[in-house]
Amino acid sequence: MNIVLCADESYARYGAVVMASVIAHAINIEQIRFFMLTPGMSEETKNCLRESVERSGAALDVINIDVAALQGFKAGRFGIAALLRLLMHRYLPADCKRIIYLDCDLLVRSDLSELWSMPLNGHTAAATINLYSSSSRGARELPDDYFNSGVMLVDLTAWREKRVGERALACLEREGGNFRYPDQDALNRVLEGDWCWLPVEWNFQPTAYAAVEKRYPHLVTHMAALETAIRHPRIVHFIGSVKPWHAKCVHPFQEDFITYSRHTAWPIDSKALASSLSWTERIRMAFKQPKTRRRRRLTQT
């Protein structure tokens, strides 16, 4: 099972949490082969990543990517590391014919073998639709036609043959200035009609809570699937600028992410996060806790 992540020095520690959560739920750990693509990180960081993964019985290959091919491309707030997957076909070994791609702001809550074995039915990739609120800037009339690229199952052979990475970069070069999510928007353009749906529990996005609570009209056909995902999220995606390692995070699964961080070389200190808040911020956070706890209770353990 080939699992690909991308991280620079600052995000390596969060990628480590993702890998720890994969390992914790894996039935056959020795079959897992991680690849972390990076524009560069210290040898100390690489060694810490390898130690935490390999002591479990899984394998990890940290691959330095020559980012010269990405010079001039705008990645916005996401950084150059977000574009590395567009070059993955050049660096992954030839025996990688299928991969699972994971962002570094995820928490895996299920064995990934079911995802790994899903049929692609002739498509290059499988992904989950991107969820958004009815009032979201950039909302689309047809939400079913646009996927979130934080979790993808990819036929890497087809990706190579169809030159998906090169075409996505060319798309970025032409239109990147108009893209809100540069690499994701480019992949959606290039893979239009060439991707199939993953059930939303495999990329559980926080908008699912509000979508069900407020019955968003544009997602009405997905309500049953969203309700299932809330009860049984397989992969939790911490979408948005506030992440579980931030003090102001109120995501129902923040504590789970922090717990898995303790299996890495970079444990997150919950008390230190709380103490970094002002008293005014702590009071605001306290008012949000009932909703956070209520949403978490909807998940069946």
pLDDT tens string 145-154: 899 999 999 9
Record the tokens describing residue 27, joined without a space: 């039935």
pLDDT at position 137 is 47
pLDDT tens string 184-215: 999 999 999 999 999 999 999 999 999 999 99
pLDDT tens string 223-273: 999 999 999 999 999 999 999 999 999 999 999 999 999 999 999 999 999
Residue 300, pLDDT above cutoff 90: no
CA distances from 195 to 60, 121, 184, 220 (A): 28, 9, 13, 22
Report the percent of the chain where pLDDT is more than 70.
95
Give the sign of the dihedral formed by CA 250, CA 238, CA 82, CA 146.
negative
Put residue 58 in one of left, alpha, beta given phi > 0 → left and psi -120 to 50 → alpha: beta
pLDDT at position 133 is 79
DSSP 141: S
**Secondary structure of residue 191 in the 3-state scheme:** coil
Mean per-residue pLDDT of the chain: 93
**Secondary structure of residue 151 in the 3-state scheme:** strand
Are the C-beta atoms of 81 and 39 separated by less than 8 Å?
Answer: yes
**Secondary structure of residue 3 in the 3-state scheme:** strand
Residue 136, pLDDT above cutoff 60: no
pLDDT band at 74 (very low <50, low <70, confident <90, very high): low
pLDDT tens string 170-192: 999 888 778 888 899 999 999 99
Residue 105, pLDDT above cutoff 80: yes
pLDDT tens string 9-48: 999 999 999 999 999 999 999 999 999 999 999 999 999 9
Record the tokens describing residue 230, joined without a space: 């809330």
What one-character-per-residue DSSP string does 53-90 give? HHTTT-EEEEEE--GGGGTT---GGG-GGGGGGGGHHH
**Secondary structure of residue 268 in the 3-state scheme:** coil
CA distances from 208 to 3, 222, 256, 294 (A): 25, 10, 19, 14
Backbone φ, ψ for residue 184 (5° rounding)? -65, -45
Q: Distance (Å, rounded) from C-alpha 159 to C-alpha 129?
A: 20
For residue 226, give the nearest of 280, 298, 149, 292 by alpha carbon. Answer: 298
